[in-house]
Amino acid sequence: MTDASVSEKSSHLSKNGLGIATMCLSVLLFAFMDTTVKWLGDGYPTSQIVFFRCGVALVPIFILVMMNGGLVTLKTQRPLVHLMRSTISIVTMSLIFWSFSQMRLADAIAILFAAPLLMTALSVPLLGERVGIRRWIAVCVGFVGVLIVVNPGSSVFDWASMAALLAAAGMALAMIITRKLSATETALTITFWLTLSGAIVGAIWVYLDGWVMPMATLDWALLIGVGLVGAIAQLTMTIAFRHAEVAILAPLDYLAIIWTTLLAYWIWGEIPVLRVFIGAAIVIASGIYIVHRETRVAKVRPVKTPKLRGRV
């Protein structure tokens, strides 16, 4: 092996290492954000949490915009697509935050893991992509896992579970629209317009819904922290996918179920029932297999629009 090939291999491993490290950090930060959202959901309306999530996050995102070309980078010829993506994402975010306040955190996260399965299924009619029989089988098996988690016919399958399922569908639609936008727009542009829209909608929603004044310094810190931590988590995830392949990083996203379960147990003493662990394991295995198959197919027949991952 030549010195050049050794150096190239070392550089590749270094990039993968950075990608894995930043992805793990991103998943942990999102887990902290989700836990904070659940904590705040007991005393503050969803509208107020959405406002802080987007309004506070807008500050660091705007700074990044100014550091990467300024306002001219935000010009777009597809405002209606941005509007559609933002509308779906804001509704999805609201459903997620509300479901967190109504059910066990690990249960809600396990249901949201259905989003990649739904994205694979919806990519056929909406993007015209070909999905092979193996991936269709993985999608069907994954939905069996989702049904095990939500447990239809029992008291567990309530409005909160339905909200989480609708949120998973919203996440899938948002990811598909992001793939369309990514052909002409940068990730920073897409994130900016979504965050700005969320801040505006959140402000109007809070005005109509009623403002609840935080009574403690801790509550102010947590509300502001939701936005800051969410923005940093999104940034670190973006960095991760710049440095490592999707096939390497995607499975790490499922660490969220571990972090949120541990945090929920530590704070509220929540212990998911065995059924949730079994269902989540099936969903995670299906999701990882789909990523594996999509990566192999992409090497043979490259897709026209790259997949961008992230949270709403």
Three-state DSSP string of 83-111: HHHHHHHHHHHHHHHHHHHHCCHHHHHHH
> Which of 76-85, 116-125, 180-189 is the most confident on average?
76-85
Mean pLDDT of 212-216: 92
Contact 164, 95 (CB under 8 A): yes
Residue 95 lies in a domain: yes
Residue 3 lies in a domain: no
Look at residue 28 in the predicted model and tell me its pLDDT. 95
* Number of structural domains the chain divides into: 1
Q: Cα 148 from chain centroid? A: 22
- The reported pTM is 0.87
Question: To the nearest whole percent, how much of the chain has pLDDT over 90?
Answer: 47
Q: How far apart are CA 255 and CA 170, in angstroms?
A: 21
For residue 168, the enclosing domain spans 16-300
Residue 93 lies in a domain: yes
Residue 223 lies in a domain: yes
Residue 270 lies in a domain: yes
Question: To the nearest whole percent, how much of the chain has pLDDT over 70?
Answer: 88
Residues 6+ apart with CB under 8 A from 53: 37, 93, 97, 198, 202, 226, 227, 230
Residue 209 lies in a domain: yes
Residue 307 lies in a domain: no
Residues 6+ apart with CB under 8 A from 17: none
The closest alpha carbon to 98, from 225, 90, 57, belongs to: 90
Residue 275 lies in a domain: yes
Mean pLDDT of 200-215: 94
Q: What band does 308 get if pLDDT is binned at 50, 70 and 90?
A: very low
Q: Which tens digit of pLDDT belongs to each residue from 86-123?
A: 999 999 999 999 999 998 999 999 999 998 888 888 88
Q: Which tens digit of pLDDT belongs to each residue from 217-275?
A: 999 999 999 999 999 998 888 888 777 777 778 788 888 989 999 999 999 998 888 88
